[in-house]
Structure 1
Amino acid sequence: MNNKSKPVVEPKPVVVPAKWGLPYAEEPTQPEQSYIIAIAVVTILAWQTDIGTLALMPFTMLATWYHEMGHGLAAIFLGAHFEQLVISADGSGYAQFSSADNLWGLERALVAAAGFFGSTAAGCALIIASRRKLATQLALAALGAALLITTLIWVRSLTGWIILPAFGMAAIWIAFSRRRKLQRFAVEFLGVQGAISVWQDLDYMFSDSAAHAGSDTGKIADVLLLPHWFWGGAISIGVIALVWWSLNYASKIDA
């Protein structure tokens, strides 16, 4: 009779990722800490000051590109013709499209809102892509290609011709490099710029057309009657929900 006791096998501990750790799915036992929340908070606060806006000016221009492309693509989808996108040296910009008079009131409101939700959706897609290495590389390459292609087709300003291709080529270079940590940080950082670009200028978002010429919330209010501050608040709630969902989805190991 063999009295030797069998070795006790200790169960492997369950690894719980840090909140917003956004671990790569291929390496679920090695969650990496993310700084998305810190990046978002610092960026929003910096945008509300002159010094911060100046320091982040290239990224402010990128946020403007996100926003104006949302307008332009929505206009195309609804039957208008997207003519040009202009980005100024101070970070402001606009999207110009023809046949706007053919759009119904609700369609014009959707085009106005698309600047907010389009940029947020693009940013959230990058945040979700940060969860997988291959998705991170593809997302950076796609963003870089989009920046280069849209510059050729629609951008009509010297500032845009300089800044946007620079971002595009940098994103593509990072996508094809072997620097995994840099890829992860880049996709998170650029995703945040899109996701929170809605708060780039709070004065603009919560102003009507009279107080702030042609504000998007003012245009929505002109069509849908409720005051501009209501739409500014409603859009903010929708954006927060979308960003929150993307962060929770990206942080799941088994998503």
Structure 2
Amino acid sequence: MAEWRPRVNNGYRPPSYRSEAGRREITLLVVMGACSILLWGSPYGGYLLYPFSILATWFHEMGHGLAALAFGYDFERLVIFQNGSGYALYTTTDSPSRLSQAMIAGAGLIGPTLAGCLLILASARRAATRSALVILGLVLIGSTLIWVRSMTGWIVLPLLGVASLAIAFKGREQWRRFAVQFLGVQGCISIYRDFGYLFSEGFVRGGQAQLSDTGVISQALFLPYWFWGGLITAMICAMVFWSLRRAHS
């Protein structure tokens, strides 16, 4: 199996996780994630992180929508409300199977972490860092044109996409690397913007009771919702740990 190794004379070399610089960088990423979670839970933190709250919802709902497409269903629209909540609507002519329901629900929980881990891994290579920012920017703008059907999404998501493209082409190498890592962290922790959601069976929206994603998985595959919440948490932790270690190896 081929393994990429940075040249000594090609500029930036990511610090190893065994080195002091590597440990400092990993610590900084963990601190950024913890601070974001704490700010989301504070009275005014949501205002400070508002664009990234919308980004977190986009990560989550795109996970649902893309999983629905993978099963051959129609991803009809993605709606993001002003308060940061949202939903992805998909339709099918047949009744969805239990497996597809569980996988689509789980994709909204695991998908954002997968995207975040890929961004963190991309920060290990200069060319990949720029490419990751370009791809993210284009996907943000493209998904807005194709699926987004809400004013909040129409305003915030293209702005984030343009900012990502601007950093990719105009930003310094250090800023590109920091941006990719920061956005990667936001993807990894996006599910914990509302930690209780992961360990709840359902919620009320518009006066109607609805199942949470773990509630849908529980209903489709049996076992209680808190079991799936714990399993998904363990998977997220393992994915983040592996990506951080791999990016600094």
TM over 0.5: yes
Aligned-partner Cα distance in 1 for 2:14–2:226: 45
Tell me the equivalent position of 1:233.
230
Residue 100 (structure 1) shift: 7.3
| CA gap 1:178/1:208 in 2 versus in 1, 3 angstroms | closer
Residue 116 (structure 1) shift: 1.1
Unpaired runs of 5+ residues, structure 2, are 1-9, 16-20
Residues 3-14 of structure 1 mapped to structure 2, 5 A cutoff: none
Amino acid across the alignment from 1:231: W
SS at the partner of 1:156?
Answer: coil
Q: Which deviates more, 32-41 or 72-81?
A: 32-41
SS at the partner of 2:210?
Answer: coil
Aligned-partner Cα distance in 2 for 1:230–1:29: 37
1:106–1:224 Cα contact (<8 Å) kept? yes
Amino acid across the alignment from 1:44: I
Amino acid across the alignment from 1:230: F
How many residues are treated as equivalent by the alignment? 228
Tell me the equivalent position of 2:84.
91
- Deviating runs (4+, > 2 A) in structure 1? 25-35, 209-214
The C-alpha deviation readout for 1:135-167, integer Å capped at 9, x for no partner, is: 100000000000000000000000000000000
2:14–2:124 Cα contact (<8 Å) kept? no
The equivalent position to 2:212 in structure 1, one of 211, 215, 220, is 215
SS at the partner of 2:200?
Answer: coil
Residue 101 (structure 1) shift: 4.9
Matched, 1:165 2:158: yes
Residue 102 (structure 1) shift: 2.7
Matched, 1:138 2:131: yes
1:78–1:103 Cα contact (<8 Å) kept? no
Aligned-partner Cα distance in 1 for 2:85–2:98: 25
Tell me the equivalent position of 2:13.
28
Aligned-partner Cα distance in 1 for 2:221–2:164: 39
| CA gap 1:149/1:29 in 2 versus in 1, 3 angstroms | closer
Q: Which deviates more, 45-54 or 158-167?
A: 45-54
Residue 79 (structure 1) shift: 1.3
SS at the partner of 2:223?
Answer: coil
What is the TM-score of this pair, normalised by structure 2?
A: 0.87
Residue 94 (structure 1) shift: 0.4
The equivalent position to 1:196 in structure 2, one of 176, 189, 195, is 189
Aligned-partner Cα distance in 2 for 1:219–1:128: 31
Matched, 1:206 2:199: yes
The C-alpha deviation readout for 1:218-243, integer Å capped at 9, x for no partner, is: 11111111111111111000011001
Tell me the equivalent position of 1:154.
147
Aligned-partner Cα distance in 2 for 1:79–1:225: 24
Unpaired runs of 5+ residues, structure 1, are 1-24
| CA gap 1:29/1:172 in 2 versus in 1, 3 angstroms | closer
| CA gap 1:223/1:100 in 2 versus in 1, 3 angstroms | farther
The equivalent position to 1:113 in structure 2, one of 106, 110, 115, is 106
